[in-house]
Structure 1
Amino acid sequence: MMMGNSLDRNQTSLAYRSLSILLLCAVVFTPLGLNTNSWAYQDEAAPVAGEAPPAGEAPAGEAAPAGEAPAAAPAGNGAAPPAATESFLSWMIRASGFFGLILLLISFLMVALIMANVLSIRRDNLMPPELIGAFEEKINNKDYQGAYELAKSDDSFVARVLAAGLSKLNQGYAEAVEGMQEVGEDENMAMEHKLSYLALIGAIAPMIGLMGTVYGMILSFQTIANSATSPKPSELADGISTALFTTLEGLTVAIPAMIFYSLLRNRVARFSLEVGMISESLMNRFSASSK
C-alpha cells in the first residue's frame, strides 16, 4: 500500500515538474517568437520609390483613354510582387500579445492541476481494497492493535478516518464516530481546496480575455481619433483582432477548467460518501467484535 501511495505522489510531483518546464519554455521562447520578422503583417505590396509603373498601366493622375480598357500587366519582370502572408497561428499570437502570453501560462497551469487531481482522486487511492480487506481480517481475528497500526501506517483517505475512529474508541463509540466524521470533513475540504484553483482559473481567464478585448477596442478607437480622414479597415484590424483573439483564448481556457472542476468535485463528493459508509461499516463490526 505504501508503494502505491508513493507512486501516486511521484506522479503528482512529475505533473508539477512538467508544469515548471512548460512555464520556463513559454517564458523563454514566446518573447523570441513575438519579435520575429516573419509575423510582419502586410496588406498590400507598395511600389518601390523611383520605379516606373508596369507596362500597360496608366501613370497616376492620368485617366485611361475613353473606350479603351486598361491592358493587363504582362507576366514577368514587370509584374508586382505577391503580398506577404502569415499563418493564422502567427497572426493570433501577434494579435494577442501580452494577454495571450498570460493566458498561455494559465493554460499550462490548468493542465497541470487537472492531471494532478485526476491522478490523486481515484477510488484505489482513497479506498485501497487491499487495506480494507486486511483491516477487516484483523478485526475478525480480534487483532485490534494490529488494525490500528495498519490504518495508522497507511496514507489513504479511508485509513486516516479509521485511525481517527480507533484512537477515540476508548472514549466511547459515539466519540469514535464523531472523530471519524471530523477527519472525513477535513480530508474532503482539503481535496476541494485543491480543486478550487481550477474554479479560480475558470473565473479569471474570461476576465483577462475581456481586458484584452477592451484594450483592442481602445487601440481601434485611438486609430480613428488620430486619423484626419476615415481610416482604412486594415488600420483598424490590429485592434479588432486583439479584442477578438483575447476573448477567444480566455473562453478556451475557462470552459475546460469549469468542466473538469465540476466533474472532479462530483467525484470527490461521491468518494467521500463511500469512505464514510465503508468506515462506519468497519467500525460497527469492530464494535460488535469488542463486546
Structure 2
Amino acid sequence: MMMGNSLERNQTSMAYRSLSIFLLLAVLLTPLGLTARSFAYQDEAAPAAGEAPAAGEAPAAGGEAPAAGGGEAPAGGGAEPAAPAGNGAAPAAASESFLSWMIRASGFFGFILLLLSFLMVALIMANVLSIRRDNLMPPDLIGAFEEKLNNKDYQGAFELAKSDDSFVARVLAAGLSKLNQGYSEAIEGMQEVGEDENMAMEHKLSYLALIGAIAPMIGLMGTVYGMILSFQTIASSATSPKPSELADGISTALFTTLEGLTVAIPAMIFYSLLRNRVARFSLEVGMISESLMNRFSSSSK
C-alpha cells in the first residue's frame, strides 16, 4: 500500500511539473506571438494603405467623365450605381459578429488565456473533489479505528490506518508507529506528517495562485501591444487617421485586459476559498488524531 501511495504521489508530482512547464512555455511564447502578429499586421496594413488612394482617385476620374460629356452625364446612369456599391460595402464590414470580433482582436493573447482558463477549471475541479471531509477524514475509518483502540487491538488499528490513504489515516499511522518511543514522540511524528500533508495540498493550490498572477500580466501585455498598434497607425499615417483605423489596436487592448481579469479573478477567489478549507480540515484532523491518541498519554507516564 505504501508503494501505491508513493506511486500516486509521484504521478501527481509529475502532472504538476508538466503544468509548471506549460505555464512557463506560455509566458515564453507570448513574445513570439507578438512578433508574428506584428508582421502580419504590417502585411495587412500595406495593401490597405495602397487601396485608399485608388478608392479616392476613382470618384475623381468618374467626376471628370460627366464634365466632358456635358448634358449627357445625367443620362448615363453609371454614376448612380456607384453610390449603392459603396453603401453596400459598409454593412458587409459591420456584419461581423461580436464573438468573431473578440477572437480576431484577442489573437495570440486570447489563445494563451483560453488555455489558462481550461487549466484553471481543471485545477479547481480537481482540488474541490479532493479537499473534502469524506476524503480527508472518513467517518467509517475513524469509527473502526476507535473501536479497535477500545478493544485494545492496537496492531489491528495500526494495520487499518496503514492500509488507508486518507489524511487522518496517515497521521494516525505515523503516531502509532512511534508510540513505542513515547507519547511525545508519537505526537511529534503526527505533527510532522500533518504538516507534510498540509504542505502537499497547499502546493497543489499554489498553481491557482500562479494562474491568478500570470493571467492579468498576459492581459496587460496585450493591452500594451494594442496601444502600440494604435500609435503605429497614427505615426505611419500622413493625415489624421479615422477612428475605424485605430479600432483594431484599441479592441486588442481592451479585450485582452478583460480576458486576463476574467481568468484571474475566479482563480484567486477559489484559491482563497480552498486554502481556507485546507487550513480548517488540517486543524480538524489534528484535533481528531490527538483525541484518539490521548488515551496513550496516561499509560506512557
Q: TM-score range by the shorter chain?
A: 0.7 to 0.9
Shift of 1:85: 1.2
Shift of 1:43: 19
Q: Which stretches of structure 1, 4 residues or longer, exceed 6 Å deviation after superposition?
A: 1-60, 62-70, 72-81
C-alpha distance in structure 2 between counterparts of 1:262 and 1:218, whole Å: 35
Q: 1:206 to 1:57 in 2, by over 3 A?
A: closer
The 10-residue stretch of structure 1 (128-137 or 11-20) with the greater mean CA deviation from structure 2: 11-20
Q: 1:271 to 1:66 in 2, by over 3 A?
A: farther
Shift of 1:267: 0.1
SS at match of 1:86: coil
Q: 1:49 to 1:290 in 2, by over 3 A?
A: closer
Q: Structure 1 vs Structure 2: percent identity of aligned residues?
A: 91
Q: Hey, what does 1:85 align to over in structure 2? A: 95
C-alpha distance in structure 2 between counterparts of 1:47 and 1:231, whole Å: 16
Native 8 Å contact 2:30 2:108 kept in 1? no
Match of 1:117 among 117, 127, 133: 127
Q: Hey, what does 1:19 align to over in structure 2? A: 19
Q: 1:141 to 1:75 in 2, by over 3 A?
A: same
Match of 1:256 among 248, 266, 291: 266
Task: Please give the root-mean-square deviation of Cα atoms over the aligned residues, in Å.
Answer: 6.2
TM-score with structure 1 setting the length: 0.75
Q: 1:195 to 1:188 in 2, by over 3 A?
A: same
C-alpha distance in structure 2 between counterparts of 1:222 and 1:118, whole Å: 46
Structure 1 residue runs without a partner (length 5+):
none
C-alpha distance in structure 2 between counterparts of 1:251 and 1:156, whole Å: 36
The 10-residue stretch of structure 1 (54-63 or 105-114) with the greater mean CA deviation from structure 2: 54-63
Shift of 1:285: 2.6
Q: 1:189 to 1:100 in 2, by over 3 A?
A: same
Structure 2 residue runs without a partner (length 5+):
75-81
SS at match of 2:221: helix
The 10-residue stretch of structure 1 (3-12 or 183-192) with the greater mean CA deviation from structure 2: 3-12
C-alpha distance in structure 2 between counterparts of 1:196 and 1:75, whole Å: 58
C-alpha distance in structure 2 between counterparts of 1:110 and 1:55, whole Å: 49
Native 8 Å contact 1:103 1:250 kept in 2? yes
C-alpha distance in structure 2 between counterparts of 1:91 and 1:40, whole Å: 17
Shift of 1:18: 15
Native 8 Å contact 1:140 1:289 kept in 2? no
Q: Map Cα deviations across residues 227-277 of structure 1 (whole Å, 9 max, x no partner).
A: 111111111110110000000000000000000000000000000000000
Native 8 Å contact 2:205 2:274 kept in 1? yes
Match of 2:151 among 124, 141, 151: 141
Shift of 1:147: 0.4
Matched pairs, number? 290
